[in-house]
Chains A and B, each alone.
Chain A
Amino acid sequence: MKTRSKRQTFIWAAVLPATILFVWSAVSVTGLVPPYLIPAPLDVLKTLFLFIFGTQADHAPYSGTFIRHAAASLSRVLAGFAIATLIGIPAGILSGRSLRICAVIDPFIHLLRSVPGIAWLPLAMIWFGIGNTTSLFLIVLAAFFPVYVSTYQGARNISPRWVQTAEMLGATRRQILMRVVLPGAFPSIEAGLRIALGISWAYVVLGELTGVNSGLGALIMDARMMGDVIIVMVGIICIALLGRISDLLLQFLLRRLPGHYAGRNGGEKIL
């Protein structure tokens, strides 16, 4: 039963990409659109292969540089996402459980949140110049908000019964935050972390477009200036794949944390 529905899901998921690939092939084979705008899928695939597995000996300009670019982007994403998480979760928990802390920080955070992340780019370039710090700053800033808002919401909606229960079992205020509110808010936090990770990928590319040496965003910008549309597309595909893989990895890790069960009522009831 389960495997069949899984296979069906997979087939349905393949419909849209297959259609796009078909239309893309048709467009480039018939010559409707010139290859410097839309290159042939096979050329993109070949370049993608060389980009990932090739060496300098292949004499293609970007061959074999995937690891360097991907590692640069990935490390920025991970660092920015981690910092945003480490600030966002405690801030959300405290703000969600303390009216006074909420009164101090919540209005200001929502004021900042209404500034689109891209508007920070010029300021970040003035403050930090071009390079790693600017990317990191943009990621942390953009990823913080979904983590904070979802944690706040989860912490605020904790069942009062759980808090009362913890109190009468002898928990201190601090223990209630760490052992009840944090795991209890987990389903909400989980959703925020996934959104934040996606946003981190968006902002790493934005930060890299400004002229750093390595990173997938830098690669795309570099290729655009060289007029190499194939590499631009290869870069986009790599970003899509890495973004999706990191989301799956995050979900895999989150499922292993105990709070994962906080939102599950019913399910596999056996008795």
Chain B
Amino acid sequence: MNRSEQAIQFRDVSKDFFNGPDGKESLSILNRLTFSIGTGEFVVILGPSGCGKSTILNILAGFERQSSGQVTVSGSEVGRPSSEHGMVFQEDSLFPWLTVKDNLLFGPRCRGVKSLPDVGAYLELVNLPGFEQFLPQQLSGGMKQRIALARLLINHPRLLLMDEPFGALDAQTREDMQELVVSVQMKYGPTVVFVTHDVDEAVFLADRILILSSRPARLSAVIPVPATRPRNALWREDALFHRTVSEVRHALKKSM
């Protein structure tokens, strides 16, 4: 991979949190983490819970800053949060006082986009056509996550960050959502960084899986997923899928 293709670069990135009465007790979250992700690549980050996976996404989104080291996206340092880097959270993040349509148009309106995008097309994309006038409280958890995804896609982010977005959903809805994410990435081609602790989910989605050690997080293994795109539900039945899953499980166990 040559330099110009690298969408994301982490170089020697550490993150410490300070607390305690005098702010001197420190907790090291990330320890000299180095990796890079290519443009349009789908990378899943796996690791034991509490290892700092979400911190990586928060730094990429601009919500937090690293304590040391360098993080670049498309060659420049990450600054304030922007509509270029969209994040889907695990919990519901829709604005409950806005209809589905107004939630989707929140970004374009804030940025003063001249001609507002066609909400219907994005709702169709996430398989919820006709839901423009619904309020979030009327929707199920899976539907809310679809709307949250559509609300990002309408801004055409170059980087899609997903922080265990389907962790709170039931198994069937989860699989539907995974297939949706695959098709959305095919269509828009953003670089995706997806955090999960579900190994099946990781193997189904990823081009490459980064496995982190427990805190402070270091990179303990990188596993490429040997499957081409587009993928569909059949990939879950593939023998290669199951072999990769057990390989990843093994690597994950070693990292703890």
Chain A positions near chain B (C-beta within 8 angstroms): 161-162, 164-172, 175, 179-180, 183-184, 186, 258-271
Known: A170-B111, A258-B97. 9 other contacts (CB 8 A): A164-B81, A165-B93, A167-B62, A169-B86, A170-B107, A264-B137, A267-B137, A268-B138, A270-B138
Identity of the chain B residue whose Cβ is nearest the Cβ of A172 in the assembled complex? B110
Mask, B62-88, CB within 8 Å of A = 1, is: 110000000000000000111101110
**Which of B95, B137, B138 has most chain A Cβ within 10 Å?**
B95
Identity of the chain B residue whose Cβ is nearest the Cβ of A183 in the assembled complex? B97
Identity of the chain B residue whose Cβ is nearest the Cβ of A171 in the assembled complex? B110
A262/B97 in contact, CB under 8 A: yes
Q: Which of B103-118 contact A (CB under 8 A)?
A: 106-107, 110-111
B107/A259 in contact, CB under 8 A: no
The 5 A-B residue pairs with the shortest CB-CB distance in the complex, in nearest-first order: A169-B107, A170-B83, A167-B81, A171-B110, A170-B111
**Which of A167, A168, A180, A259 has most chain B Cβ within 10 Å?**
A168
B138/A269 in contact, CB under 8 A: yes
**Which of A166, A184, A263 has most chain B Cβ within 10 Å?**
A166
Residues of B within 8 A of A168 (CB): 61-62, 81-83, 85-87, 152
Residues of A within 8 A of B106 (CB): 166, 169, 171, 179
Residues of A within 8 A of B81 (CB): 164, 167-168
In whole angstroms, what is the CA distance A153 to B13 when docked?
A: 37
Tell me the minimal C-beta distance from A234 to chain B in angstroms. Answer: 43
Residues of A within 8 A of B63 (CB): 164, 167
In whole angstroms, what is the CA distance A165 to B106 when docked?
A: 10
Residue contacts A-B, CB under 8 angstroms, 23 given: A161-B89, A164-B63, A164-B93, A166-B106, A167-B62, A167-B81, A167-B82, A168-B85, A169-B86, A170-B82, A170-B107, A171-B107, A171-B110, A175-B110, A179-B106, A179-B110, A262-B97, A264-B137, A265-B137, A267-B137, A268-B137, A269-B137, A270-B138
Chain B positions near chain A (C-beta within 8 angstroms): 61-63, 80-83, 85-87, 89, 91, 93, 95-98, 106-107, 110-111, 135, 137-140, 143, 151-152, 155
B91/A161 in contact, CB under 8 A: yes
Tell me the minimal C-beta distance from A259 to chain B in angstroms. Answer: 5
B110/A170 in contact, CB under 8 A: yes
In whole angstroms, what is the CA distance A172 to B83 when docked?
A: 11
Identity of the chain A residue whose Cβ is nearest the Cβ of B151 in the assembled complex? A169
In whole angstroms, what is the CA distance A260 to B138 when docked?
A: 15
Residues of B within 8 A of A260 (CB): 97
In whole angstroms, what is the CA distance A169 to B102 when docked?
A: 13
Residues of B within 8 A of A171 (CB): 106-107, 110
Tell me the minimal C-beta distance from A200 to chain B in angstroms. Answer: 26
In whole angstroms, what is the CA distance A88 to B97 when docked?
A: 22
B96/A265 in contact, CB under 8 A: yes
